[in-house]
Structures are given as C-alpha cells and as structure tokens.
Amino acid sequence: MSARKENSMKRFKVKLHGKNFLLNLDGELKKFGFYATKFVKAENPKEAEKIAIILIHQNPNLRDTVLNEKADRPTINLEEIKEVNFLKFLAQKSTTGFTFYPEDEE
C-alpha cells in the first residue's frame, strides 16, 4: 500500500455482534454470543466492516476454541460503525476485546 493511499484512509470504530459460538468453558459445551469493538483503517464503511470481521476470525483465542459443526456455523454481524478522529483511534486501538454472554440468558 502506498504512503499516499495510507494517508487518505479513514479511521472507523466498528461494533460487531457474534452469535451461535459453541464453546467449552469449564468442561461444559454452551452457546455464547459476544460484542466486540474494533478500530480499523479503511477507505469506506463497507471495507471497515470486512476488515473488522476478518480480525475477529483471525483471533486465535476465539478461532481455536469454537466447536461448531459446519452445519451450525456462528455468525458475526455489524451493530454500528462510525468514523472517528485520529486521537480517538490511537487512544482506543489497543483496548478492544470481547464481551461474551450465554445465549440462553439473552
């Protein structure tokens, strides 16, 4: 990516909602959902959403613990997206994580 293109990219705060994640916590299989916020650089909101979802899929802590069968895949959907300024992006970029909840208690 050229420096010129990098400078023209916008910064986005992307809130995602994951559902139907079969996880083994404390020896018990249970379905969980989660909320996650990612701060990404992209040319537009659609690209920012795609990048954020890829980052979630690439997270080894989540990827290596999901036990769903192929016929019962988990989903990740966009909850909210907004453009943020440089300082907000820089301050928040490293503080993003997951907030899980048991789906049967939703």
pLDDT at 33: 96
76-105 in b/e form (b: 16+ CB < 10 A) is bebeebeeeeeeebeeeeeebebebeeeee
Task: Decide: helix, strand or coil at residue 29.
Answer: strand
Place of tokens 């290596």: 64
Q: List per-block mean pLDDT (blocks of 10 residues) for the chain, which spans 106 residues.
A: 65 96 89 94 97 94 91 97 87 76 79
Q: What's the CA gap between 81 and 71, in Å, rounded?
A: 29
- Rounded to two decimals, what is the model's pTM? 0.83
Q: What's the CA gap between 8 and 28, in Å, rounded?
A: 47
> Where exactly are the structural domains of the chain?
3-105
pLDDT at 6: 59
Q: What's the CA gap between 24 and 106, in Å, rounded?
A: 18
